[in-house]
Structure 1
Amino acid sequence: MGVKRNIWSARDVRMMTLYIIGLASAVLALLWLAKPEAIVAMFIFELSFIAIVVGVFWKFAKKNNLSFRDAGFQPISFKWIMLSILAGFSVLFLGGAVVKIISPLLGISGNTSSIKEMLDTGFISDSMWVNLIHFKLMVAFLIPISEELFFRGVLFKYFRQTRPFVFSAGVSAIIFAVLHITPPLIIFAFLLGLTSAYVYEKSGSLFSPIIVHAVNNNFIASILLMALMS
C-alpha cells in the first residue's frame, strides 16, 4: 500500500488529536495531584504519552480495518535500513551546521546551560543508571516510535493523500518542529521532520522514519549522558 493511499479521514485526524491531547492532559492532571518527584513524573508522563499515541493509532487503524502493513509498517529492505541510518546521521550534522549558522542571525542562544539547570532542579536525576535508562530507552527508542506514528503515520499521511509531497512534508514538519518549543530544537526538528517524511515517501514504510529518528535521538541522548556524568 503506497504512501498516497487513502486510509485516514479528516475526522480520524481530528479525533486522534483530541484523544491524544485529552488523555495526555488527564495524565498531567493526575501527576499534578499526586506530586511525585520530578524525574518520576517525567518518566511516568513520557511512558504514558507513548502508550496513548500507540493505543490511539491502533484503535483507529482497527476501526478502519487496517492491517499492520496497511497502517504503514511495510517490510523494509536492507538497502533502506542502511539509507535510513545514513539519513539520520546526515540530519545530525546538517542540522547542527544550520543551527550554528542561523541561531546568531535570529539572536538565539545555542548554549546548553539548561541541562545544568535541569540537574540543579532535579528534573533530570544525577544518578547514572536513572539517566541511562531514561534517556536511552525513552528518548532514543520509544519516543521515535510514538512521534513517527503520529507525525508521519497520521499527519503526513493524511496530507499526502490529497496534497503534493512538498506541502505534506512541510506542514507536518512545521507542526512537529513547533511542538519542540526551544528555538534551536525547532530548527533541528524541522529538518528531521522533512527528512523523515522523505524516507517514508521513498521507502513506503514507517520503519524508515523511525530509524532516522532513532539514530538522531540515540546520538543526542548519548552526548547528553556523557555531559551529565562528566
Structure 2
Amino acid sequence: MDQDTGQLYGVVMITIVGGSILAAIWRAGVFGPRAFEAAPKRRGALGLFDPFVAVAVLLVGMAAVGSFVGQPPPEDQMTPRRMFITMVATQAGALPAIVYILIRAGMVVEGGLLGFGFDPRRFGAAVRYALLGTVTAIPLTMAVSAIVMFVMQQLGLDAPQIAHEALRKMTEEGWGPTRWGLIISAVVLAPIVEETIFRGMWQTALLQSKVVLTPWAAIGITSVIFTLTHVQIANLNALPALFTLSLGLGYVYERSGSLLAPMLLHAIFNGLQIIIALNLPQTPAAS
C-alpha cells in the first residue's frame, strides 16, 4: 500500500467511524436540536453593541501594548523568543477588554458573574462537559484536520502538519524559559482570554440581544468569528478544524452554564496539539 492509498484509507475510516459516532450521539439527544432544553439559561440584557465595544477596547489595548514592544516581524523573521513576547503582549493587551466584559456582564446578566459562567457550584458540570468535549469534539476536530490536509495535498496545495505559527516556533526552541513560556501562554492564558471574549461575550450577546433565537445559531456565528480571528496565525488547512473545535467549545459552555468548561476544553486541545507538534519527526530534539 503506497502512502497516498494509506492516507486515503485512513481518511475514509476516520470519516465513517467518526460520522457513525456523531450520528449516534446526535440521535441520543446529546448534540441534537433539543440538546439545550435542560441546560442552564443565561438571562440578561447584553446587547449586540457590547461585543463591538469589547473589540474596540481590545484593539486599543493591543495598540497600547504594541507601542512598547513594537510590531511583530514577518513569520520568516520571527524567533521563538519574539513569538513569546508577541503572545504575551497580545494577551496583556486583551486585559482591558476582559475587564470591560466582566464589568458589563456583572451589571446586566442575571446573577451577575455567577450567571455569566463563573459560578463555583457548576464546577462539576464544567469538568464533565470538558471531558465530554475531549472525547468527542477533539477527535472530530482532528478528523476534520486530517481530511482537509489530505484533500489539500491531493490538490497540490500547501498543508503543513504544524499549521499554527506558535506551534512551529515551539518546535524550533529547546527546553528552556522561552518554550515553557510559549506553552503556558497557549495552555493557560489563551484559553482564559479567548473563551471570555468569544464564548462569554459574543455567544452570550448574540443570544441575549435576540439576534439569533437558538443556541446553535449563536454557537455557529461565534465560531465563524473565532475562526476568522485566527487567519493570520494559522494556515488555511487549520481553519476548518478550528471552526469545528469552536462548535464544541460553544456547546460545552451552553450545556454546562460555566465558562470553565470551554476554558478547560480549549486548554486540553492546545496541550494535545503541543504534545503532537513536539513529537513529530521534524521536531528538534529537546536540549
1:20-169 alignment runs, 5 A limit: 20-32=58-70, 38-39=82-83, 41-64=85-108, 67-74=112-119, 75-105=121-151, 107=155, 108-112=157-161, 119=169, 126-161=173-208, 162=210, 163=212, 164-169=214-219
The 1-side partners of 2:58 and 2:125 are apart by 34
Question: How many equivalent pairs are there?
Answer: 227
The 2-side partners of 1:117 and 1:205 are apart by 28
Structure 2's unaligned 5+ residue stretches are 1-38, 74-78
**Matched-pair contact (CA < 8 Å) for 1:135–1:225:** no
Identify the structure with the greater helix proportion. 1
1:185 aligns with 2:238: yes
For residues 18 and 217 of structure 1, do their structure 2 counterparts lie closer, same or farther at Cα, with a shift above 3 Å needed? same
Q: What percentage of aligned pairs have identical amino acids? A: 19
For residues 133 and 7 of structure 1, do their structure 2 counterparts lie closer, same or farther at Cα, with a shift above 3 Å needed? farther
Letter in 1 for 2:159: G
**TM-aligned CA deviation for residue 59 of structure 1:** 3.5
Letter in 1 for 2:263: I
Deviations 1:196-225 (A, max 9, x none): 111111111111111111110111123334
The 2-side partners of 1:116 and 1:209 are apart by 21
Bigger radius of gyration: 2
Please give the TM-score of this superposition, normalised by the length of structure 2: 0.67
Letter in 2 for 1:144: P
Structure 1's unaligned 5+ residue stretches are none
Deviations 1:14-42 (A, max 9, x none): 21111011211232233227999624532
Q: Cα RMSD (Å) of the superposition?
A: 3.2
Deviations 1:91-147 (A, max 9, x none): 33211211221344354533237769955xxx9762412344223211011110110
Letter in 2 for 1:159: L
- Alignment correspondent of 2:220: 170
**Matched-pair contact (CA < 8 Å) for 1:100–1:110:** no
For residues 80 and 55 of structure 1, do their structure 2 counterparts lie closer, same or farther at Cα, with a shift above 3 Å needed? closer
Deviations 1:57-116 (A, max 9, x none): 224335548633032212325354133123134333211211221344354533237769
Please give the TM-score of this superposition, normalised by the length of structure 1: 0.82
